[in-house]
């Protein structure tokens, strides 16, 4: 999975990027627009515990890639996105809008005073405007070619939706319509998370970013964190982090909260495979059939699918071993149409 981190200049995007990834990208470099990229292993104790049973040669966690988009040099600091940003965001699965909620007189806000709700609304408008420009150009070209086909009708519908003030992610699409828009990678169609970046003075306060009502009204996930403090903690030795967080009243590690929120937003889950060669977590969308989950591992497994031997992680841990789980009747044989559940440990049987 790949998330693009966006926001206005001096919102703390790179600080949050460092906090989530443990990277040490330079902060405060307003004049550079080169994106920072980092990949983290998704923490999953299920992988660790399965490895303790199987002692595999290899352990593979799911991965999450972050792209920290640099400031907009083309349109000035009052806009967040330029041509370079649009290119970098095209292949992301979701967007994370870092919204400034901290006061710092030495770090001026490009839009004036600190107003998280204004910034969140302005970013939504900017995403919609970027999409509208693309849509209108494509409609104009189709009209010149006298192609008033299904794609044309759908794009006109998208234009009407945006002009009514709605993001494309709220536009219901049929299974036939989804592929027609997939190639455009519309920004307002991507899942969007709000991340309120508040200051140390707001630690422990309810709704420190003041974005709760806006997020609820717009059906957007929201998490709050103190980016500067989280970045410092991320640089501590791992064994010291939890004690420090407890002393400051910061609660659960921000990376874990973010990943859980991102999984929920994207509608994805993890299933696991385990054996002496490798223990691995695989990321799939909710409601994925067993035969399609097999294809995530390898197309040959999907093509030659026979059955799936499935035991849920919880049942496996209670049994203590795969053999005992089978004796207790916790291991099931499932066919192609079985809907894989989060935490399923699966052995695929296939023949090609």
Q: Are residues 103 and 225 in the same domain?
A: yes
Domain assignment present for 210: yes
CA atoms of 265 and 216, how far apart (whole Å)? 14
Chain length of the chain? 352
Residue 43 lies in a domain: yes
* Residue keyed to tokens 């595999």: 56
Question: Phi then psi for 114, rounded to 5 degrees?
Answer: -75, 120
Q: 91: buried, middle or exposed (CB in 10 Å: 19+, 13-18, 0-12)?
A: exposed
Shared domain check, 203 and 250: yes
- Is 103 part of a structural domain of the chain? yes
Residue 254 within a domain: yes
The total domain count for the chain is 2
Q: Look at 171-180, 194-203, 252-261, 286-295 and tell me which has the smallest mean pLDDT.
A: 252-261
Distance separating alpha carbons of residues 314 and 18, to the nearest angstrom: 33
Same domain, 199 and 133: yes
Residue 143 lies in a domain: yes
Tell me if residue 31 falls in helix, strand or coil.
coil
Tokens of 52: 């303790």
User: Chain-wide mean pLDDT for the chain?
Assistant: 89
pLDDT computed for residue 73 by the predictor: 53
Please report the pLDDT score of residue 28 as a whole number.
Answer: 65
pLDDT of amino acid 76: 53
Residues 322 and 255 in one domain: no
Domain boundary among 265, 297, 318: 265
Question: Does residue 129 form part of some domain?
Answer: yes
Decide if pLDDT at 1 tops 80. yes
Question: What pLDDT digit, counting tens, does each position of 139-181 carry?
Answer: 999 999 988 888 999 999 999 999 999 999 999 999 889 999 9
Same domain flag for 184 and 313: no
247 assigned to some structural domain: yes
- Cα separation of 25 and 105, whole Å? 23
239 and 313 assigned to the same domain? no
Asked, for residue 133, whether it belongs to a domain, the answer is yes
The SS3 call for residue 65 is strand
CA distance 92 to 95: 7
Q: Are residues 90 and 218 in the same domain?
A: yes
Please tell me whether residues 52 and 108 are part of one structural domain.
Answer: yes
Res. 194: pLDDT tops 90: yes
Q: Span 179-184, mean pLDDT?
A: 90
Give the model's pLDDT for residue 47. Answer: 97
Contacts 24+ apart (CB under 8 A), 144-150: 150/176, 150/180
Q: Are residues 152 and 7 in the same domain?
A: yes
CATH number at residue 233: 3.40.50.300
pTM of structure? 0.86
pLDDT band at 82 (very low <50, low <70, confident <90, very high): confident
Which pLDDT belongs to residue 85? 81
* CATH assignment at residue 305: 3.10.20.30
Residues 6+ apart with CB under 8 A from 96: 3, 4, 5, 6, 192, 193, 195, 262
User: In the predicted model, what is the mean pLDDT of residues 239-260?
Assistant: 79
Residue 295 sits in the same domain as residue 246: no
Average pLDDT (189-218) is 92
Nearest to 35 by CA among 62, 1, 2: 2
- Residues paired with 269 in a beta bridge: 284
Helix/strand/coil for 253: coil
Is residue 91 scored above 80 in pLDDT? yes
The neighbouring-strand residues paired with 6 are 97
CA distance 79 to 75: 6
Please tell me whether residues 247 and 294 are part of one structural domain. Answer: no
The average pLDDT across 62-86 equals: 75
Q: What number is the average pLDDT over the span 299-313?
A: 97
311: containing domain: 287-350
- CA-CA-CA-CA torsion for 50, 52, 55, 61, nearest 10 degrees? 50
**Which tokens hold the place of 77?**
């600091």
Q: What is the mean pLDDT of residues 54-74?
A: 85
pLDDT in tens, 92-149: 999 999 999 998 776 666 667 889 999 999 999 999 999 999 999 999 999 999 888 8
Query: In sequence order, what DSSP letters do the residues of 165-211 get, joined into one string?
Result: T--GGGS---TTTHHHHHTT--GGGS-EEEEEEE-GGGTT-SSTTS-
**30 with 165, same domain?**
yes
Which of 219, 234, 265 marks a domain boundary?
265
pLDDT of residue 175: 87
């Amino acid at each position: 999975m790949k998330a693009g981190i966006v926001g206005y200049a001096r919102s703390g995007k790179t600080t949050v990027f460092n906090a989530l990834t443990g990277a040490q990208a330079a902060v405060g470099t307003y004049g550079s627009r080169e994106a920072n990229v980092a990949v983290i292993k998704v923490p999953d104790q299920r992988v660790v515990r399965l490895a303790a049973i199987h002692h595999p040669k290899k352990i593979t966690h799911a991965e999450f890639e972050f792209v920290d988009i640099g400031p907009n040099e083309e349109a000035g600091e009052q806009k967040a996105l330029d041509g370079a940003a649009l290119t970098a965001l095209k292949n992301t699965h979701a967007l994370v809008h870092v919204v400034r909620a901290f006061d710092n007189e030495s770090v001026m806000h490009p839009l004036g005073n600190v107003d998280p709700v204004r910034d969140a609304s302005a970013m939504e408008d900017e995403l919609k405007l970027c999409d509208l420009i693309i849509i209108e150009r494509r409609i104009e070209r189709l009209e010149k070619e006298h192609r008033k086909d299904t794609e044309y009708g759908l794009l006109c519908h998208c234009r009407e939706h945006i002009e009514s003030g709605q993001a494309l992610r709220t536009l219901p699409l049929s299974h036939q319509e989804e592929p027609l828009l997939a190639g455009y990678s519309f920004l307002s169609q991507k899942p969007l998370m709000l991340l309120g970046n508040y200051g140390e003075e707001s630690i422990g306060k309810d709704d420190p970013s003041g974005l709760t009502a806006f997020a609820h009204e717009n059906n957007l996930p929201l998490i709050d964190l103190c980016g500067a403090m989280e970045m410092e903690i991320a640089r501590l030795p791992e064994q010291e982090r939890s004690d420090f967080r407890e002393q400051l009243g910061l609660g659960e590690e921000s990376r874990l909260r973010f990943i859980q929120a991102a999984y929920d937003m994207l509608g994805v889950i993890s299933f696991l495979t385990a054996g002496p060669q490798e223990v691995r977590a695989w990321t799939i969308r909710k409601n994925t059939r067993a035969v399609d989950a097999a294809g995530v591992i390898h197309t040959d497994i999907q093509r030659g699918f026979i059955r799936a031997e499935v035991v849920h992680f919880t049942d496996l841990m209670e049994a203590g071993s795969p053999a005992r789980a089978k004796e207790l009747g916790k291991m099931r044989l499932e066919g192609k149409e079985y809907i894989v559940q989060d935490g399923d440990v699966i052995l695929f049987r296939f023949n090609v």
